Every structure is written in structure tokens, then in C-alpha cells.
Amino acid sequence: MDYIRKMKIARGEELAELVLKNCRIINVYSGEIEDADIAIEGEMILGVGSYSGKIEHNLKHAYVAPGFIDGHVHIESSMLTPPGFAKMIIPKGTTTIIADPHEIANVSGNKGIQFMLDASEKIPLNVLIMIPSCVPATIEENSGAVITAEDIQTFLLHPKVLGLGEVMDYPAVIRGDYLMHEKIELMRKRVIDGHAPDILGFDLNAYIASGVMTDHESTVEISLTERIKRGMYVHLREGSATRNVKALLKGITKENIHRTLFCTDDKHPFDIESEGHINYNVNLAIDFGIDPVDAIRMATLNAANCYNLPHLGGIAPNKQADLIVFDNLKKIEPKLVFYKGQLVAKDGKALFDLHVDIPKEITNTVQFDDSILNFDLKLKSNKVHVIGLVQGNITTKDCIREVKVENGLFIYDDQIDIIKLAVIERHKNRKKIGLGLVEGFQIKNGALAMTIAHDSHNLLILGTNDQDMTLAAKKIKEIQGGIVLVRNGKVEDFLQLEVAGIMTANSEVLVQETLLRMKDKIKEMGLAKEVDDPFISLAFLALPVIPDLKLTDRGLFDVNQYKIIPIEIE
């Protein structure tokens, strides 16, 4: 950069490369809406005021805000690779994501993390990585890989790496487990993300004392307010299954709003397309009554401050020229999106298309013998623990129910909403299978199988009969990962996810269309209206760090007791 020229442009003495004229700038620093021009040279903003440029865009008094930041997201949950994900979210105004690649790390370890870093290099999106801390999430499951402190150390110097990903094994943290704290110590001078569902009091003090700085698992107001009081940043999450923004907005005040930001965590393509991305969170806040500038500040400056990103989050000299242009301050739908000064989306459409090469090392990851496919659920009692779905959340209930038992085996009753759930280890053919029961889906005459099963991503199958469950499992193996729907002894539909069994290099359009088609078919099978997204609701039934009951390949897991328990109650 010619520093003399740079200063002349900033002082208005020379033409800037690009000037956005007649803007209504959302000033997240002063809280006002400012009428001014924005002077851009290369990737950076050099001035705000009255400017002339070699190229000028007259925005005709449209609003301009900093690009939105997603404070915590798993790209893999979109089932798209980073370029495909970027095509979905950039038109919605998200220009920066704080991504935790622990989904692919659970399948492919360091090779998976490296793929996400490499695949993010050339896309017009700031992809900043938090290195996974808990792979696997607990010791009570089998994943495809283990991430150690030594593994974390190999990524410390990568320029995209910000800090340590969500520390999910909070019991290990608060009891002082050495291996867990060893990972935290490696990132002591960086941001350390938390994941501690609604723990409070002394346990929360201990968790924060370890060095954890953020949490995105708050679902109730008291959880948000106590975390902020103890110095944390709190993400208000709105994903496909976890919809917490409205509940948490009740706890926001003018005194604590500066410690809040937005995230999506896990959101499927059809929800991004129909609702939006971080702009949807912002719009929810505005609808709730939060001042629009404050809501935008949560999605920009607050997130940038949280993650120590001084070049992002505002419209001012020496800030990266990531900008969104929109007409309606009450409902933000970007009509233009700029990334590093370049127009990358217009009228809801991405202006780029990128290809990604898939390494062989992260394909062909479904490995199990058909001999494991025995879904007989042996019971000594008809009184059992059943996993109960919770609407709008990935938490579950421990429901005590009486079921039909014949000859020591569970018998499905189509008059009762209790069906089988199975988790099969699929990474190293360890021949492990966990069996349980779940209520809340209400489907009949079929099975739904997925290799998306947070976070170890084993093969997860929901079914009303063993034959359909077996057929679904065999189809999953044939396509080497994905989602399979079986009804009445026939494969109804499937989505192949060839990248680690959790993503595809196919287009976002194909993924959206297939998922919507499958969702409609599941509705025909009786899916409960309360289940907004059957795929995410199912996927999180295998995550043993979210209360109350979950299922792993080793058995039924009581999160509150933090141990495997019998299904029967004798």
C-alpha cells in the first residue's frame, strides 16, 4: 500500500477506488443512523463522510450495516461443504462465521479439520475456526477419531484459528480433569468457547474459572443473566431445532446487552433459505422490541469484541469493507452484500460459484458388518425409561412409561407413540450397538436412518419395525453415509452425504430439494406437528452432553448422572 496515497484518500484529497454514496449508515459505535458516503480502497474502509470515487454506487439512502457475524456455527450441519454453505448465508448478510468443525473431527480427526481449513481458503466469507475440544464429546461413546492436546497444538499457528471450540464435557472441567484442562491451557491466551446447558451457582463459577469465556447453551432467562454477571458472553441461538432467541431476549437490558451476540449453531439449508441466517435472529430481536441499531450491534460489534476481531463489526476507517445494504430497518433482507469491498451477493443470490476437491481420506467412512443389525430390545420389565422430545430444543425428558413386552422383547404398539431408537458404531467396525426408546415423533410404518448423529456421528436409526430399520441401515452403507427414509419395506428416498457421512459436495439446491421432499414424506407417515425439523431432532438424540436422556452406541445415557443406565426400571 502506498501510505501517502492511502492518507490522501482518507482525507478526501484523492479518489477512492470505490465509494458508496448516499448511505444511511448504522453506526454501531454511537448508536445513531448517519447520512454519509463510505470510501473503500481494496479490502478496507478508509473514510466515512463526503467522498468521491473512481467507481461510485448511489445507494439512494438505503441502510448500510456491517456484515453480520455468526458467533458459533457448525458448517457441517448444513450438510454442505464450506463453499456451498457460503452460497447460502452470504446473500442473507452473514460475512463472518466462527466455525467449530467438531462434527467432521469426530469422523476424520485432524484430516477433517484440515479439510475445513483448506476448503474455506478461497470463498468470500471470513471463516474463523475454533479447534474442537471434545472429540469425542464423552468417553461413553465411540467416535471415528480422538482430538488430544497434541492435536490441538498442531493448529495453533494457523491464521484462521481463533481459539478452543465449545468445551462440552463440563463435568470433566468442573472436577478438574487434567486432560481437559490441558487443552484449555493451550488456548489460555485465546477465546475459549463454552457449552454448559443451564448450569448455575458454584458449578458455573468453576466452569468460568477454568478459562471458558462464552456459552451458547442458555435456554432460559436466568441462565443468560447469571452468565453475564460472571463475565461471560452469551450467544442467543436460533437454529433449526434449537430456538432460544425469544426466550432469552427477556433477560436483555441496556446494561447487559453489550455481552450478548447471535449464533445459529446448527441450521439446515431449507431454514436458511426460507427464514434467513443471522439476519433472522436480528429480525426476531427487532420484533421483540429491541432497538434495531442495538439488534444489529449484537450481530456485529458485540461479536467482533467477543472474538477479538478489531477489523470487523463496524463501519469506520480501518475496518474491513464487509457491508450489507437493505431498505427496511424493521425487517432486514439484504439486497446487496459486499465482502472485502467486492459485491458478492445481490437480491438474495450469490454472485460466485466455487468447486471444492474432496480428499479420499474423508470419504468411505461407513464401516460395519451386517451381523450387527439385530434390533431385538430385550426387557426384564415393562416399565422403562423413554427419551421424550422437547419442542424447540435439543434437550430431552426422561419419561417413565409402561410398554408391551412379549417373551422378554419390546413389542411396538401403533396406538402408543413409543418407537425404537438404535445407534450403531460405524467408524471402525467395533460391532457396538445401543438400543433405546423415544416418544414424540409419532411416525408409523417405517424407519429414518442417518449418519448425522451428534457428535460422534455413528449410524442413528429411528424405526417402528426391525425390517425397515435393517433396510435403512443397509442402504446407508451402500451410499456410504447420508439420510435414508424407508416406508413399508421400501426405500422411499435418500440423500447421499459422501463427505465423512455428514456433508456433500453437491449443490445447495439439491440438498434443499431432497430434504424438503423427505420431510413431506415423513409428515405423511404421521410426524408430530411439534417436530419442526425431524432430521435435527433425531440427530441430537445421540449427544450425551445435553440433558436428560440420550443414546450412544454403548447404551442409554443419563446426562444428569453422567453414566450409562439400564432401560428397564425393575
Across the chain, mean pLDDT equals 96
Amino acid (1-letter code) at residue 202: F
- Residue 457 falls in which region: left (phi positive, over 0), alpha (psi -120 to 50) or beta: left
Phi-psi region of 161 (alpha: psi -120 to 50; beta: other; left: phi over 0): beta
The verdict on 140 and 260 lying in the same domain is yes
C-alpha to C-alpha distance for 421 and 439, rounded to whole angstroms: 10
549 confidence band (pLDDT: 50, 70, 90): very high
- Residues 239, 374, single domain; the answer is no
The mean per-residue pLDDT over the stretch 316-343 comes to 98
pLDDT in tens, 154-176: 999 999 999 999 999 898 999 99
Instruction: Report yes or no on 184 lying in a domain.
Output: yes
**Residue 261 to residue 236: CA distance in whole angstroms:** 6
- Is there a domain that residue 244 lies in? yes
Instruction: Please state, as a whole number, how many other Cβ atoms lie within 10 Å of the Cβ of residue 563.
Output: 13
Q: 282 and 388 share a domain? A: no
Point out which residues pair with 337 in neighbouring strands: 324, 345
Query: If pLDDT is split at 50, 70 and 90, which confidence band does 1 have?
Result: low
Same domain (yes/no): 137, 283: yes
Residue 546 maps to a domain? yes
Last residue of some domain: 276, 311, 346? Answer: 311
Question: For residue 456, is pLDDT > 90?
Answer: yes
Residue (of 195, 120, 110) closest to 159 by Cα position: 120
pLDDT band at 2 (very low <50, low <70, confident <90, very high): confident
Lowest mean pLDDT among 118-122, 197-201, 286-290: 197-201
Query: 3-state SS of 34-45?
Result: EEEEEEEECCEE
Q: What share of the chain is helix, strand, coil (3-state, %, to 5)?
A: 30, 30, 40
Model confidence over 45-82: pLDDT tens digits? Answer: 999 999 999 999 999 999 999 999 999 999 999 999 99
Question: For the whole model, what pTM was predicted?
Answer: 0.93
- State how far the Cα of 246 lies from the Cα of 252, in Å rounded to an integer: 11
Give alpha helix (H) positions in 149-200: 149-154, 170-174, 178-186
Same domain for 377 and 487? yes
In this prediction, what percent of the chain has a pLDDT beyond 90?
Answer: 92
Q: Are residues 275 and 200 in the same domain?
A: yes
Which of the 8 DSSP states describes residue 563?
A: E
Q: Which residue has the cell 413399508?
A: 488
User: How many other β-carbons are positioned within 10 Å of the β-carbon of residue 341?
Assistant: 21
* Residue 345 belongs to some domain of the structure: no
Total domains, the chain: 2
DSSP H helices, 20-70, are none
Better-predicted residue by pLDDT, 229 or 242 = 229
Q: What is the CATH number of the domain that holds 87?
A: 3.20.20.140
All three cell numbers of 464, joined, read 417402528
351, part of any domain: no
Query: Do the domain assignments include residue 21?
Result: no
368 and 304, same domain (yes or no): no
pLDDT score recorded for residue 138: 81
Residue-wise pLDDT for 7-41, tens only, equals 999 999 999 999 999 999 999 999 999 999 999 99
Do 293 and 418 share a domain, yes or no? no
Is 396 a member of any domain? Answer: yes
Shared-domain flag, residues 284 and 418: no
Are 300 and 373 found together in one domain? no
Range of the domain at 538: 363-564
Please identify, among 290, 311, 332, the residue that sits at the C-terminal boundary of a domain. Answer: 311
The C-alpha cell 463475565 sits at 231
Alpha-carbon distances of 410 from 313, 378, 383, rounded to whole Å: 55, 6, 11
Instruction: Tell me the per-residue pLDDT of 477-526, one tens digit each, with 9 for 90 and over.
Output: 999 999 999 999 999 999 999 999 999 999 989 999 999 999 999 999 99
Q: Is 554 a member of any domain?
A: yes
Residue at which a domain ends, from 285, 311, 337: 311
